[in-house]
Amino acid sequence: MIRKKENLKTFNLFHYLKEQEQQSMSIPYFMADDTTYKNAGVSFPIRNFVYGIGITYTGKPGSVKIGSADYALQPGSLTTIGPGIVSQWEPYHNAKHETLFFTESIFTDVIKNSFLSALPFFQPGGRHVIEISQEQTLQIKSLFATISAFKNQPLVMPGLIYSLLMLAQTCHQSATPAISLTSQQEQIAAKFRKLLSLHVLEQKDVNFYARQLHITPKYLSEVLVQLTGKTTKKWIDEHLAMEAKSLLRQTSMTILEIAFWLGFEDSSYFIKAFKKWEGMTPLAFRKL
């Protein structure tokens, strides 16, 4: 049986897209656009192994689930996802967008890559999608064009990608809060999402998260319902469902191994829970 400390053999979107475009695996970055995604045809939840930063320019609004949070995607949406985060993208092939994927090795021997861990929008529970101004969108677009122009010059790319990250940080600092609530409520929700990402495989009890936040379970659910329309239990279930669907599609792990990985003591409990979440058995989902 697989142990949690072992690495998973998983579907890696970064490698898959590079193979599709016949690009070298040794280059630690990759530029993708709407045509790339359309050709890839990946519709199931995927775990990210690299850093990704993208911008939507025009087209029909879509949506994305990152972790267990739902985000709207429309023109002017800046999206950031870090390693280890599971996401599922709604098909919106008519939307014009660009994404830069990169690994932290891009900054080796050039810039201390530890600065990446200080950027909250790449971390679990971070704010992964924000709406930016038209001026900021044009600035991002201009920088993406420069990155694209120099993508065959590896020595130039670290500085350009660093500039893009600093521009993204500026956009986040000036972004309007998604929902106008008290700062205390926003902090509770953000801390809960981070706790959920870190502990959901071991802790599925609402009381655990309330205790960590020094509030009652009732108040935690009230805050989350007001903010997102979902109770604490719903957040936990949706996060587990995303993890389960990613493992079912990205790995060759057995149902029993996935149940163990997700913290279920018996595969029958996992199968029952999955049927409640998705309306089908894990095996049926895997065969889709």
**Mean of all residue pLDDT scores within the chain:** 85
Query: How does pLDDT run across 87-103, given as a tens digit for each residue?
Result: 888 765 567 889 999 99
Residue 210: per-residue pLDDT: 95
Does 87 or 59 have the greater pLDDT score? Answer: 87
For residue 130, which of 170, 99, 175 has the smallest C-alpha distance?
Answer: 175
Residue 117: Cβ-neighbour burial (10 angstroms; 0-12, 13-18, 19+): exposed
Query: How does pLDDT run across 32-43, given as a tens digit for each residue?
Result: 888 887 777 777
Query: Could you tell me if 52 and 122 are in contact, meaning their C-beta atoms sit under 8 angstroms apart?
Result: no
For residue 172, which of 145, 134, 133 has the smallest C-alpha distance?
Answer: 133
Residue 1: per-residue pLDDT: 34
Query: Could you tell me if 48 and 11 are in contact, meaning their C-beta atoms sit under 8 angstroms apart?
Result: no
Query: Could you tell me if 36 and 20 are in contact, meaning their C-beta atoms sit under 8 angstroms apart?
Result: yes
Arithmetic mean of pLDDT, 164-185? 78
In which residue are the tokens 């953000």 written? 190
Q: Inform me whether the pLDDT recorded for 236 exceeds 90.
A: yes
Q: C-alpha angle with apex 201: 195 to 202, nearest 5 degrees?
A: 85
Query: How does pLDDT run across 117-142, given as a tens digit for each residue?
Result: 778 888 877 889 999 999 999 999 99
User: Whole-angstrom Cα distance, residue 203 to residue 208?
Assistant: 7
Arithmetic mean of pLDDT, 50-63? 88
Q: Inform me whether the pLDDT recorded for 219 exceeds 60.
A: yes
Residue 49: per-residue pLDDT: 85
Q: Inform me whether the pLDDT recorded for 45 exceeds 60.
A: yes
Does 234 or 250 have the greater pLDDT score? Answer: 234
User: Whole-angstrom Cα distance, residue 20 to residue 36?
Assistant: 9
Collect all residues with Cβ–Cβ distance below 8 Å to 48 and sequence separation of at least 6.
13, 81, 82, 83, 84, 85, 86, 87
Confidence at 2, pLDDT banded by 50, 70, 90: very low
Query: Could you tell me if 65 and 46 are in contact, meaning their C-beta atoms sit under 8 angstroms apart?
Result: no
